[in-house]
Structure 1
């Protein structure tokens, strides 16, 4: 039984797009529909995200986090380090999970990691001993299902997008909630 969804932001919930005023994060429409459905299933949703751009003053971390809370996310844990720093919190390292585990008293067998990257999100789940669900958005959108299934590191599940992921989670938890 899944109790907690660990989810990556970029490529899973939406993407950064260039706009007239700079770069803006745009949520995928299905993500904005999926998050409330997951909340109706009484699941906690925790964003685990690598965001090295928080080293720059133009990024306001509190706005970033508050925006995620407004769509129904329970908590946001951020690695602000660049991957070359080799910190323990940059996915695929498991430091963010250890933080979430302590803060929320998580059990790996009751968690599901959802992400769009085999190299970071799915590898992270593997290292943490958590089941994983790869959505074919973001970094994995250009891969065929055959390529994904023949990859060296396999996700536990694959879904086209976050709404399809909700269907898998409903099946796993034997629940079906109305929209």
Structure 2
């Protein structure tokens, strides 16, 4: 398959605990930078796709997050600053950020992969646009797969990965991109 891009959730997928951590205090997992570089080495675009409602509370700014994601080498970042009660179109599980990325970068979302740790947001958003779904077991992943599975019971991930690096290796195995 020609995978055009990979979307990656932040909290619990790239690093952290699944809870909000300000960008100045956030640390990626030891393998996350290698995983993102592996996608770049295979000419696969990478986009972060994250809900960050603390922005609407004034606890961080969009710029704080953009600078963080730029330092990891993402091609672009799609950030929802709203709360789930704001009834916006971008807060996962709604597909607004994915649709925005599709328009901005001319992507066929059925040729993309979403890697995240929350079934009821990440996996549902990916499913709604036909993207492949990879659930990582870091962050909220174990809970999503076990005690909160009923929240997304009708959706199956395409792959369950130990972590972001495992997920990226799976994506590359499914991609026909040459290693450049």
Inter-partner Cα distance in structure 2 for 1:79 and 1:134: 20
Match of 1:169 in 2: 171
Match of 1:11 in 2: 12
Provide closer, same or farther for how the CA distance between residues 134 and 144 of structure 1 changes in structure 2, counting only shifts above 3 A.
Answer: closer
Query: What is the aligned partner in structure 2 of residue 108 from structure 1?
Result: 109
How far does residue 153 in structure 1 lie from its aligned partner after superposition? Answer: 2.2
**Correspondence for 2:96:** 95
| 1:83-139 Cα deviation digits (max 9, x unpaired) | 012211100001111110110001012110110000000010111111111111111
Task: Give the whole-Å Cα distance in 2 for the aligned partners of 1:52 and 1:79.
Answer: 7
Structure (1 or 2) with the larger CA radius of gyration:
1
Shift of 1:56: 3.1
Task: Give the structure 2 partner of residue 159 of structure 1.
Answer: 161
What's the TM-score once normalised by structure 1's chain length? 0.86
Give the whole-Å Cα distance in 2 for the aligned partners of 1:132 and 1:143.
13
Q: Secondary structure at the match of 2:165?
A: helix
Aligned-partner Cα distance in 2 for 1:140–1:175: 28
Q: Is the 8 A contact 1:114 1:135 kept in 2?
A: yes
CA contact (8 A) 2:119 2:145 kept: no
In structure 2, distance between residues paired with 1:144 and 1:89:
24
Shift of 1:61: 2.2
Residue number in structure 2 paired with 1:35:
36
Unpaired segments of 5 or more residues in structure 2? none
Gaps of 5+ in 1: none
Instruction: Name the structure with the higher strand share.
Output: 1
Compared CA separation, residues 61 and 13, structure 1 to 2 (3 A): same
1:124, 1:115 → 2: CA distance?
10
User: What is the RMSD of the two structures over their aligned residues, measured on CA atoms?
Assistant: 2.7
Query: Does structure 1 conserve the Cα–Cα contact (< 8 Å) formed by 2:49 and 2:77?
Result: yes
Distance, in Å, in 1 between the alignment partners of 2:33 and 2:142 is 19
Cα contact 2:11–2:20 (8 A) shared by 1: no
Counterpart for residue 134 of structure 2:
133
How many angstroms apart in 2 are the aligned matches of 1:159 and 1:135? Answer: 5
